Amino acid sequence: MATRILIPTPLRPYTDGSDTVELEGATIGDLLKALIARHGDLRRHLYSDEGKLRNFVNIYVNDEDIRHLQRESTPVTPKDTVTIVPSVAGGSTLVERDSPELTREEIQRYSRHLIMPEVGVDGQRRLKAARVLCVGAGGLGSPATMYLAAAGVGTLGLVDFDTVDASNLHRQIIYGVPDVGRRKLDASKERLQTINPALNVVTHEVALTSKNALEILRDYDIVVDGTDNFQTRYLVNDACVLLGKPNVYGSIFRFDGQAAVFAMPGGPCYRCLYPEPPPPGLVPSCAEGGVLGVLPGIIGVIQATEAVKLILGAGQPLVGRLLLYDALSMKFRELKLRRDADCPVCGDHPTIKTLIDYDAFCGITPPKPAGTGSSVPEITVEELKAKYDRGEDVYLLDVREPNEYQICRIAGSKLIPLGQVASRVDELDPSRELIVHCKVGGRSAKAVALLQDRGFKNVFNLKGGILEWIDRVDPSQPKY
Amino acid sequence: MLDDSASRAIRRHSAAAYPEECCGAIVGRADGSVRTVTAAWPLTNTSADDRQHRYTIASDEYLMVERRARDEGLALLGFYHSHPDAPAAPSQFDLLHAWPNVDYLIVSVVRAAAADVTCWRLRDDRAGFAREEIQWRPAS
């Protein structure tokens, strides 16, 4: 007894025009072999040169795709109906663009890629044609761009406007000591082209804003988010959703990291995960809270891996899953993420159709123009020094954390971390003039306001914090 | 031959889908080497990838098209898709995924307005496409 095979229109000229062929076989593989034996011209349309079933050929047993059964080993009986369904697909040039050939040197360089079926010559050419933008040339951007450059991505765009600081070096491994003070993009470009001279590096030495983001992102296939603040993260996300570009997200704080691929069709975006930014100041930045130096290495390399997989179309991308990494317990966890149908940017009825004001969205007001002053009374480091010079008995409160206090301090200060000021307020004498400081002046301003609420009349914020003190008064102490 | 009504339907669909690619089926009559497209049926672009550069017609829609064509006594002649802000020429990706014995109409869409329309057929050795001539047939 034979099994019925339904032939689709494009292939009927090879089966003498008939839409049904009946053949005997125990599995799909057997049936297809028998089909090709009878109608030889079908082979090149169903099978690749390597003898594999082409991926745009769908075979159904009754109404099940054999990919969900046992593929070509799926058993069939005469009662079954086998349907060959063409997956009709195509598109304009995406990453293959002009599909550049590999040079002899490139074949040598990428030989360990080329021998893997998931990459091969085709995949390596796709990498060569690909354009990846990395927003932020810092902790995450360093390893991500170095690996993408090494792997053979043809064009890397970089967005950053910072210079290299000594405090960057413990994690931003693309830079070395001689780079301190240089513009990050100059140093990055040089290093990346040492890794891969064929790499085309495009530098965008600007702050990414609502005005320029679409213009900059438009030219790339994939965006890697290596930003360190919420405004830019929402901006990158929204721009990626609006342009239909995958957003390979990563973030790090202290010992914890996160990664995901957002803005893929049907998948969630960053707003589906975090519809609202945290209140300003609640989540400290890496500059305030610290970060383990090797942490961005792990997360940035995960981002590079995902970008390469997207270009190759290999494996399962990190879509619909949020990867959480905890370096202290050395554990990875995965949370399921779904696209939110009510998401204002990627939902079914989006309300955000152009880029918005992300500083306002994140509750960050632009810095006050000079001269309008601060809302709490301030004292400068020079005025503080003058008090010491006059031999005054200065009453100084340091609201930093104990580990910061260990690095540097102003002699004679009393340490009460900001979080404890409210509960330990009775340790302070409200009758005396009190000067409060922290690292740069933000936390101490909060402490001053809190103390004013508690009835302290004579309390001042040290403008610029201990860093300003070290810069202008006591350079013998280390900065952090 | 491309009927004016089918041509307009394809251009409309292409412009409406911009900046994404659109796709659909073309049906009509095949009379030897002359094929006459009398209707264009818009289909859903179900590509899981970047839909601005990719289209995929799902299996169930493909089967629906074959059934409907059979029921209406029409021949499935091929498929159309748009290339937003790109020329109306088949890409390497189109070639890789092409089926024989059907026509591929490609519409170039420039800034949301349909521009060129071209027609292509896979060569029997799969090595490339042969361009087919299109004649527009005004609505009668």
Q: Which residues of A touch B73 (CB under 8 A)?
A: none
Residue A86 main-chain phi, psi, to 5 deg: -70, 130
- Structural domains of chain A in order of their starting residue, each with its CATH number: 3-86 (3.10.20.30), 130-361 (3.40.50.720), 378-472 (3.40.250.10)
Instruction: Give, in order, the Cα–Cα distances in Å from A258 to each of A236, A293, A305, A322.
Output: 16, 15, 14, 7
Residue B19 in contact with partner chain A when CB distance is under 8 A? yes
Q: In what order do the strands lie in the sheet with A81-86?
A: A20-23, A3-6, A81-86, A57-61, A64-65
Of residues A307, A45, A338, the one with CA closest to residue A151: A307
What is the β-pairing status of strands B55-57 and A88-90?
A: antiparallel
Instruction: Give, in order, the Cα–Cα distances in Å from A75 to each of A29, A65, A71, A84, A85.
Output: 9, 13, 9, 16, 18
Residue A374: predicted pLDDT: 54
In this complex, the residue of B55, B83, B125 whose CB is nearest that of residue A89 is B55
In this complex, the residue of B50, B66, B99 whose CB is nearest that of residue A45 is B99
Residue B85: predicted pLDDT: 77
In chain B, where the domains are located: 2-137
Is B49 in contact with A265 (Cβ distance < 8 A)?
yes
Helix and strand tally (H, E) in chain A? Answer: 18, 19
Residue A127 main-chain phi, psi, to 5 deg: -60, -40
Distance CA A472, CA A462 (A): 13
The backbone region for B93, taken as left when phi is positive above 0, alpha when psi lies in -120 to 50, beta otherwise, is alpha
- A370: DSSP letter: T
Minimum Cα–Cα distance from A267: chain B residue? B48
Residue B115: predicted pLDDT: 77
Is A99 in contact with B104 (Cβ distance < 8 A)?
no
**Residues pairing with A262 in the sheet:** A247
Structure tokens that stand for A191 in this block:
């290093």
* Chain A: closest CA distance from residue B30 (Å): 12
- A168: DSSP letter: G
Which residues in chain B come in under a pLDDT of 50?
none
**Residues pairing with B80 in the sheet:** B24, B105
Q: In chain A, which among 297-336 make CB contacts under 8 A with chain B?
A: 313
Minimum Cα–Cα distance from A98: chain B residue? B92
Is B52 in contact with A244 (Cβ distance < 8 A)?
yes
User: What is the residue-wise DSSP string for A383-417?
Assistant: HHHHHHHTT----EEE-S-HHHHHH---TTPEE--
Q: Is there a contact between A319 and A267 (Cβ–Cβ < 8 Å)? A: yes
Of residues A322, A147, A352, the one with CA closest to residue A251: A322
pLDDT by residue for chain A (480 residues), tens only, comes to 789 999 999 999 999 989 999 999 999 999 999 999 999 989 988 988 878 888 788 999 998 889 888 889 999 999 999 999 988 888 775 444 556 889 999 999 999 999 998 899 989 999 999 999 999 999 999 999 999 999 999 999 999 999 999 999 999 999 999 999 999 999 999 999 999 999 999 999 999 999 999 999 988 999 999 998 999 999 999 999 998 899 999 999 999 999 999 998 788 999 999 888 887 766 777 777 889 999 999 999 999 999 999 998 888 899 999 999 999 999 999 999 988 888 999 988 889 989 999 988 888 765 444 444 457 899 999 999 999 999 999 999 999 988 888 889 998 899 999 989 999 999 999 999 999 999 988 889 999 999 999 999 999 999 999 999 999 999 998 888
Distance CA A267, CA A365 (A): 32
Is B97 in contact with A90 (Cβ distance < 8 A)?
yes
> How many CB atoms are closer than 10 A to CB A217?
24
Of residues A229, A59, A4, the one with CA closest to residue A136: A229
Residue A371: predicted pLDDT: 41
Is CATH 3.40.50.300 the classification given to domain B2-137?
A: no
Q: Which residues of B touch A245 (CB under 8 A)?
A: 50
Residue A373: predicted pLDDT: 46
* Chain B: closest CA distance from residue A37 (Å): 18
Q: Is there a contact between A325 and A258 (Cβ–Cβ < 8 Å)? A: yes
Residue A219 main-chain phi, psi, to 5 deg: -80, 0
Of residues A93, A111, A94, the one with CA closest to residue A102: A111
Is B126 in contact with A44 (Cβ distance < 8 A)?
yes
Rg, chain A, Cα only: 30
Give this prediction's pTM: 0.57
Is B76 in contact with A9 (Cβ distance < 8 A)?
yes
* Chain B: closest CA distance from residue A244 (Å): 6
Structure tokens that stand for A432 in this block:
């005396």
Interface test with A, best of B18, B53, B107, B118 (most A CBs within 10 A): B53
Residue A95: predicted pLDDT: 42
In this complex, the residue of B55, B99, B102 whose CB is nearest that of residue A91 is B55
Size of the A and B interface in Cβ pairs below 8 Å = 110
Is B97 in contact with A88 (Cβ distance < 8 A)?
yes
Residue B115 in contact with partner chain A when CB distance is under 8 A? no
Q: Which residues of A touch B118 (CB under 8 A)?
A: none
Is A10 in contact with B100 (Cβ distance < 8 A)?
yes
Residue A265 in contact with partner chain B when CB distance is under 8 A? yes
> How many CB atoms are closer than 10 A to CB A225?
27
User: In A243-388, at which residue ranges do the beta strands (DSSP E only) sit?
Assistant: 247-253, 256-262, 321-326, 331-336, 378-379
> How many CB atoms are closer than 10 A to CB A403?
9
pLDDT in tens, A394-440: 999 999 988 888 889 998 899 999 989 999 999 999 999 999 999 98
- A99: DSSP letter: -
Structure tokens that stand for A348 in this block:
């079914």
Cis before B19? omega within 30 = yes
Length of chain B: 140
Of residues A216, A29, A12, the one with CA closest to residue A21: A12
Of residues A112, A54, A130, A115, the one with CA closest to residue A85: A54
Query: Could you give the residue numbers annotated as active site of A?
Result: 286, 438
Interface test with A, best of B80, B93, B126 (most A CBs within 10 A): B93
CB burial of A179-216 (b: ≥16 within 10 Å; e: otherwise) equals beeebbbebbbebbeeebeebebbbbeeebebeebeeb
Chain center to CA of A13: 50
In this complex, the residue of A88, A96, A99 whose CB is nearest that of residue B62 is A88
Q: Is there a contact between A124 and A110 (Cβ–Cβ < 8 Å)? A: yes
Residue A416: predicted pLDDT: 94
Residues near A60 by beta carbon (within 8 Å), at least 6 away in sequence: A66, A82, A83, A85, B59
Distance CA A364, CA A371 (A): 20
| A163-A167-A173-A176 Cα dihedral, nearest 10 degrees | 70
Is B63 in contact with A83 (Cβ distance < 8 A)?
yes
Residue B54: predicted pLDDT: 86
Q: In chain A, which among 78-137 make CB contacts under 8 A with chain B?
A: 83, 85-94, 96, 99
Residue A93: predicted pLDDT: 55
Interface test with B, best of A9, A46, A92 (most B CBs within 10 A): A92
Minimum Cα–Cα distance from A12: chain B residue? B101
Is A93 in contact with B91 (Cβ distance < 8 A)?
yes
